Amino acid sequence: MYGNVAHNIYAQNNLGIESPAKLIEMLYEGILRFNAQAKKAMKDRDVEKRVYWTNRSIAIITELIAILDMSQGGVAKYLDGLYNYQIQLLTTAGFKNDISKFDEVSNVFKVLLDAWRDTTNVAH
């Protein structure tokens, strides 16, 4: 259902993407945007839009899990667990109508985005 979100984003935006590292940055940014939209929909009591935006975030996280290189050891295993936990939080947010879960997930991805940017800037 969520298959190959990263590839689709890359294909749609390939003119602005310099590298696979840029793609990861875009995926993290997408999660932040979609969570903000889901949170707004929850505040507006728009269940259909909340589900739509939540599912978009979950699709990206699912793709991030799929592209993890588990041969890289501890970091990949940590991210696998962290990403799966974020999916749980997003699912719980909808069931319990809990906006704070969207904030929690967004805070995690803000930290990951900052760390990713720091890492990729050092690598260049």
**Predicted confidence (pLDDT) per residue in 56-65, tens digit:** 999 999 999 9
**The pLDDT of residue 61:** 97
How sure is the predictor about 1, in pLDDT bands with cuts at 50, 70 and 90? very low
CA separation for the pair 123, 121 (Å, rounded): 5
19 DSSP 8-state letter? S
Minimal CA–CA distance to 62: which of 50, 52, 54? 54
Per DSSP, the three-state class of 89 is helix
Separation CA 16–CA 10 (nearest Å): 9
Residue ranges and CATH numbers for the domains of the chain are: 5-123 (1.20.120.340)
Tokens of 64: 């991030």
Q: Pick the residue with more confidence: 36 or 20? A: 36
**How far is residue 85's CA from residue 95's CA, in Å, rounded to a whole number?**
15
User: Is residue 12 predicted with pLDDT exceeding 90?
Assistant: no
Q: The tokens of 24 are what?
A: 């990861």
pLDDT above 70 coverage of the chain, percent:
83
Band of the pLDDT at 52, cuts 50, 70, 90? very high
